[in-house]
Amino acid sequence: MKSITLLFLFIGLTSFSIEKLNDKKNKPTLWIIGDSTVKNGSGKGEDGLWGWGDFTNLYFDTTKISIQNRARGGRSSRTYQTEGLWDEVLKNIKPGDFVLIQFGHNDGGNINDNHRARGTIKGNGDETEEIDNMLTGKHEIVHSFGWYIRKYIDDTKAKGATPIVLSLVARNIWEDGKVLRATDSYTGWSKEAAQNKDACFIDLNDLSASAYEKLGQEFVSNNLFQKDHTHTNKDGAILNAKMIAEGIMETADCPLKKYINKSVKKELNTRK
């Protein structure tokens, strides 16, 4: 009798273990790609600087979705691809996953030099510039910012996953009491690329700028930025991660919203 009881106990535990394993295997992953405003350094707060990607776990239900922050500092929409970083992410994306895409801060640099060579052609067109890259020594065809964003979208969809494009998080630059926005440049091109490919778009540039304005220039400068006007400290990164969660919740056609945690949903409902 004792042996039969132990057998049923073993079967039960085995079934439970298999079920848990299947849950983990079937749980979707939220992949995050971008630059140092998304993941600063190793993502451990070196020099007190943090990217918003390291705090998305505060606003998503991680029992239902896994999070992988694969952003890399100093990269543009172009160099994240040419250095093979995107290929490393892409090979692991599975059907049902999501990809948050935020670039623009580094795309305004030089297209060809021996220092960084990370710039992209301004706009969302199909024009190209053929170069012999002074930094890498390779022949390269450089595309527009929008072209690279559209490629991320296409590649993600081809893997059966959902791309979500974000405009670049706002810098701590003010004019007449307002945070300067990139509406007519990288925000606009990000939005246009997303619309071209029928992808979700979250205007993080405006969301973060609006949040900063509510707090005021003095508070933001003294409490959210401590090194420069681009990279936030921990509190700034947490605020921007929250803005993304709220932006996702307020976007009608964004399927990622079902993974936002209950506290964010409750707070938004309370405001209405």
Q: Examine residue 11 and state whether it is found in any structural domain, yes or no.
A: no
Q: Which residue has the higher pLDDT, 173 or 24?
A: 173
Q: Examine residue 152 and state whether it is found in any structural domain, yes or no.
A: yes
The pLDDT assigned to 182 comes to 97
- State the chain's mean pLDDT as an integer: 91
CA 150/CA 272 separation, integer angstroms: 34
Domain range for 134 is 31-271
Q: Examine residue 9 and state whether it is found in any structural domain, yes or no.
A: no
Q: Tell me what percent of the residues of the chain surpass a pLDDT of 90.
A: 85
The pLDDT assigned to 16 comes to 43
**CA count, 13 A, side-chain hemisphere, 67:** 20
- pLDDT per position as a tens digit, 13-52: 444 444 444 455 689 999 999 999 999 999 999 999 999 9
Q: Examine residue 15 and state whether it is found in any structural domain, yes or no.
A: no
What average pLDDT score do residues 115-140 get? 97
Three-state SS string across 220-265, please? HHHHCECCCCCCECHHHHHHHHHHHHHHHHCCCCCHHHHHECHHHH
Tokens of 229: 């006007």
Sign of the C-alpha dihedral, residues 28, 208, 42, 91? Answer: positive
CA 134/CA 195 separation, integer angstroms: 34
Q: Examine residue 64 and state whether it is found in any structural domain, yes or no.
A: yes
Looking up residue 123, the CATH number of its domain turns out to be 3.40.50.1110
Predicted confidence (pLDDT) at residue 263 exceeds the cutoff of 60: yes
CA 194/CA 40 separation, integer angstroms: 25
Predicted confidence (pLDDT) at residue 10 exceeds the cutoff of 80: no
Predicted confidence (pLDDT) at residue 211 exceeds the cutoff of 80: yes
The DSSP element (H or E) to which 66 belongs, if any, is strand 66-69
Q: Examine residue 22 and state whether it is found in any structural domain, yes or no.
A: no
Q: Between vectors from CA 219 to CA 185 and to CA 213, what angle results, nearest 5°? A: 40
Contact 206, 20 (CB under 8 A): no
The pLDDT assigned to 26 comes to 82
CA distance readout (Å), 150 to 37, 81, 156, 176, 236: 21, 12, 10, 35, 29
The pLDDT assigned to 217 comes to 97
Tokens of 252: 């009608």
What average pLDDT score do residues 110-131 get? 97
Residue 111 DSSP label: S
* 105: Cβ contacts below 8 Å, ≥ 6 apart: 35, 36, 37, 76, 168, 230
Q: Examine residue 3 and state whether it is found in any structural domain, yes or no.
A: no
Q: How many domains does the chain have?
A: 1
Strand order in the sheet with 29-33: 66-69, 29-33, 98-102, 162-166, 200-202
Nearest residue to 173 via CA among 209, 123, 148, 129:
209
What average pLDDT score do residues 107-122 get? 97
pLDDT band at 226 (very low <50, low <70, confident <90, very high): confident
What are the backbone dihedrals phi and psi of residue 115, each rounded to the nearest 5 degrees, phi first? -110, -60
Tokens of 78: 């172009």
Nearest residue to 239 via CA among 204, 187, 201:
204
Q: Which residue has the higher pLDDT, 188 or 6?
A: 188
